[in-house]
Amino acid sequence: MKRFNVIIVGGGAAGLACAVALSENTDIDILIIEASERVGKKLSATGNGQGNVGNCDTSLSHYRSGNLPVVDKIISRGLSPESVRRRIFGSMLFKCDNIGRVYPQSLQASSLTDILLRRLNSRGVQMLLSTTVLDIREGFIVDCGDISFSADFVVLATGGKAQRQFKTDGSAYKLAQNFGHKLTPTRPAIVQLKTDTQYTKGLKGIRANCFVKAIIGGKCIKSVQGDVIFTDYGVSGNAIFYLSSELSARGGTLSIDFLPDVSAAAVAEVLNSRLSEGTSFCDILGGILHNGIARAVLKRVGAEDVDSIVKTVKNFTLEVTGTLGFDYAQVTQGGIDMRDIAENLESKLCKGLYFTGEILDVDGDCGGYNLHWAFASGVAVADDINSKFKK
């Protein structure tokens, strides 16, 4: 049975980042075992193919976890996001869009995977593709069915259960559970929301830039300005993805302002002027809102009353009834319970077993936070393992 210093299970964003940082020490033998026929398949699909690798606002408030202090330690442990990306990608140019999202200059996520592959190949990191790890035993013996390996350290980087076409269906949680690790409840996050469609039937395909609030228990817990896309089941779009992680867990209401850049008073003034110019109520929102949205607002108000129309334009509420589920979600909320994970991301239950990325009970907002977690946690694990080889 071939022995490696470190076996990384899963060649996604976190596993590849960990391997690149570990391979800075050329004395360490590394094997990545990946279930897909290629590494980095999900990474290559991120950010609509453009790879939103991070965000200029790195605050902890953009993350959810059962143990935020550990997440904080990892994302602010003296390595800035820029230095994390430099460790992984080497010399590279990134750019930041007008809302703080960081992308490679190429705007091509697959080019990120290409760079990682080139760096790993040039440093002699071995990869076994199209191979699923079925079991890991203390010691460590890593069992892939027809073939087994042994290792001094094992890193679990198998992701969560979002979008099973990337071989992330949640079956790998059992590799950790076999060591006594617990799984916190998992939910789809950064996902399309199902809503009450009574007033939005007929809006399918319409996209509007809105200010949207997530209301839970009567309180606005998060808000954002961005695109809302109406669908036959409810709503999608970047504003919805941003708010979905909170609403997926607790349910609630969306409050949509269709004219975020115009005050209620200014809208009322224009509508009243239109009436005095002889415009009829059914045309009063023409040219101000998309015709479909205008019809939905007027149908909902059901009265010829400017105040009610303005209120509905500025606060169009939709009850959230569910999500489209894991097959459509970008991330998994919940995962391996962080209470059994030490600050260096090593298992408290089994020395030498490490965790990185989405497998853990850590999820970030839409906007580059999940890839940043994958990269930062991968590099943190590599640095800890490396320090043990130096001793």
Ligand X SMILES: Cc1cc2nc3c(=O)[nH]c(=O)nc-3n(C[C@H](O)[C@H](O)[C@H](O)COP(=O)(O)OP(=O)(O)OC[C@H]3O[C@@H](n4cnc5c(N)ncnc54)[C@H](O)[C@@H]3O)c2cc1C
Q: Are 385 and 71 in contact (CB under 8 A)?
A: no
> Which span sits near ligand X by CB under 6 A: 90-98, 157-165, 315-323, 381-389?
157-165
For ligand X, which residue of 19, 47, 212, 293 counts as binding (CB under 6 A)?
47
> Which span sits near ligand X by CB under 6 A: 22-30, 224-232, 236-244, 351-359?
351-359
Q: Does 331 bind ligand X (CB under 6 A)?
A: yes
**In the complex, least distance from residue 185 CB atom to ligand X, rounded to whole angstroms:** 18
Q: Does 157 bind ligand X (CB under 6 A)?
A: yes
Q: Does 34 bind ligand X (CB under 6 A)?
A: yes
Residues 229-268 contacting ligand X, CB under 6 A: none
- Candidates 382, 311, 8, 365; CA nearest to 172 is 8
Q: Are 364 and 370 in contact (CB under 8 A)?
A: yes
Residues 9, 158: Cα–Cα separation, whole Å: 6
**In the complex, least distance from residue 353 CB atom to ligand X, rounded to whole angstroms:** 14
Look-up: residue for tokens 């260096």?
A: 344
**In the complex, least distance from residue 98 CB atom to ligand X, rounded to whole angstroms:** 16
For ligand X, which residue of 87, 119, 167, 181 counts as binding (CB under 6 A)?
167
Residues 55, 366: Cα–Cα separation, whole Å: 10
Q: Which residue is nearest to ligand X (CB)?
A: 12
**Torsion sign (Cα): 66, 166, 81, 156:** positive
> Which span sits near ligand X by CB under 6 A: 155-163, 222-230, 316-324, 336-344?
155-163
**In the complex, least distance from residue 44 CB atom to ligand X, rounded to whole angstroms:** 10
**Which amino acid is residue 221, in one-letter code?**
I
Bridge partner list, 101 = 55
- How would you class 294 by CB atoms within 10 Å of its CB: exposed for 0-12, middle for 13-18, buried for 19 or more? buried
Tokens at residue 214, please? Answer: 């997530």
**Which amino acid is residue 335, in one-letter code?**
G
The site for ligand X (CB under 6 A) is made up of 9-15, 33-36, 41-43, 45-47, 52, 132-133, 157-159, 162-163, 166-168, 172, 330-331, 357-359, 368-371, 374
